[in-house]
Amino acid sequence: MHPSPFDLPEPRFVTAGEHPLWDEAPAAVDRDMAATLPGQQPPRLVAYPGFEEDEEAERCYVAFADGYSHGNPLGRAGSAAGALRVVAEAAQDTVMERLWQAWPVCTLHGLGLHVTEDAGRPSWWCAGGSRPDDPAHVRAATGEMDTVHRPRRPNRKRRKAR
């Protein structure tokens, strides 16, 4: 398949339960992608075999549905929150390389968001505007971008005024 002279290993899709710590994170990142990148298939984890001297050490990446991935392999994560942070950052790399756009973007400032920790949860952070009264802010918890990007629904009922 590859025209490369090197014997490049093919990735395989990681199935649920293989890396329990990472089972939840792709779903959370998928929620953010669905809210902000309509039409994208859910991201998946792929694994490449380890190097010759360390074959046990598979390297996992966040990939598009077709297996395309970019960036660094997932690092170690000691907690579910840590795993979400790692997966969200890896998804950013893959999305930016594949789609050539910053992701996700703050709709208030038009800036690419970064993963930070807010109240113990991985969150999307925006550097804010240039004015002093327009400071850096957390846009949404990772996995909850749909709270600021509400998907349009046809026949949406109007809310009564409070």
Residues at the interface with Zn ion (CB under 5 A):
106, 108-109, 126
Round to whole Å and give the CA distance between 68 and 71: 11
**Residue with Cβ nearer Zn ion (28 or 106):** 106
Round to whole Å and give the CA distance between 80 and 78: 7
Q: How far is the CB of 138 from Zn ion (least distance, A)?
A: 9
Q: How far is the CB of 66 from Zn ion (least distance, A)?
A: 32
Residue 44 forms beta bridges with which residues? Answer: 63
Q: How far is the CB of 126 from Zn ion (least distance, A)?
A: 3
Q: Which residues of 88-126 are buried (b: 16+ CB within 10 A; e: fewer)?
A: bbbbbbbbeebeeeebbbbeebebbbbbeeeeeebbbbb
Round to whole Å and give the CA distance between 10 and 47: 9
Q: Which residues of 58-77 are buried (b: 16+ CB within 10 A; e: fewer)?
A: bebbbbbeeeebbbeebeeb
Round to whole Å and give the CA distance between 33 and 96: 12
**Residue with Cβ nearer Zn ion (3 or 132):** 132
Round to whole Å and give the CA distance between 151 and 145: 10
**Residue with Cβ nearer Zn ion (98 or 109):** 109
Q: How far is the CB of 75 from Zn ion (least distance, A)?
A: 27
**Residue with Cβ nearer Zn ion (70 or 109):** 109
Q: How far is the CB of 47 from Zn ion (least distance, A)?
A: 35
**Residue with Cβ nearer Zn ion (21 or 96):** 96
